Amino acid sequence: MKKRTALVTGAGRGIGLAIAQKLAAENFNVAIMDIHEESAVADALASLRAAGADVLYCRADVSCAESRAAMLDQIKAKFGGLNVLVNNAGVAPRVRADILDATEESYEWVMKINLQGPYFLTQACANWMIEQKKADDSFIGCIINISSTSSTVVSVSRGEYCISKAGVSMMTQLYAARLGEFDIPVYEIRPGIIKTDMTSVVTEKYDKLIFEDGILVQNRWGFPKDIAKTAAMMARGDIAYSTGQVIEVAGGLTLQRL
């Protein structure tokens, strides 16, 4: 089968890089997008090439329409098509502020990166996938959205983040419904407490919640590789008849217990 191509946003490190590495190992071509200079992600690119992937680095800003369009032009020129979009790029608020004190500037910044950018990147990629499907009925494609348990679990010190991820959850349902006629499934992965740079600033808090307070059923941190394995299952087509589905990778965080 022709080698498929995946685009993973925010893949210079953390969850995005782990997903890109797993897809590279699964014999995908990989386009990774991040905002950093290419030299800053040189080690990440080397790890992908070592796995045998044909790799394209796209320095782009997911919140900028022109930047998104230029990135897709790069991918088209390099690979000729796109089979998998992984919407992973995202940010936490620069300042964790009580929702009674949070600013509109913080809200707008988080929403543009976490929701508006992915929403319209998905629109562009979906239309491209539809074109490919119409040209070749054997085309296989899917879209994977990385949200968060914060889409349903309240954190009053980062309301803008929670709202952005709740929006990603609705975005998943919307695109799943719209792309069904083209047999392009759309999935959502909801990570819980994952060991990344984003959570490094609250390590002490989460260590206490996990190891002392028993907030999780599985009392360990999650790791980027936990998310990557789930994304690979989706990208391979293992659950191709399950569009719109959400898989929470969170160690049982949201299970109701007495």
**Residues involved in catalysis:** 161
Distances (CA, A) of 142 to 20, 92, 102, 128, 172: 15, 26, 36, 12, 11
How distant is the alpha carbon of residue 168 from its chain centre? 10
Nearest to 191 by CA among 12, 54, 14, 2: 14
Backbone angles phi, psi at 56, to 5 degrees: -125, 130
Backbone angles phi, psi at 143, to 5 degrees: -125, 135
H/E stretch holding 144 reads strand 142-146
Q: Are the CB atoms for 216 and 253 separated by under 8 Å?
A: yes
CA distance 196 to 200: 6
Q: What sign has the CA pseudo-torsion 30, 114, 188, 171? A: negative
CA distance 162 to 148: 8
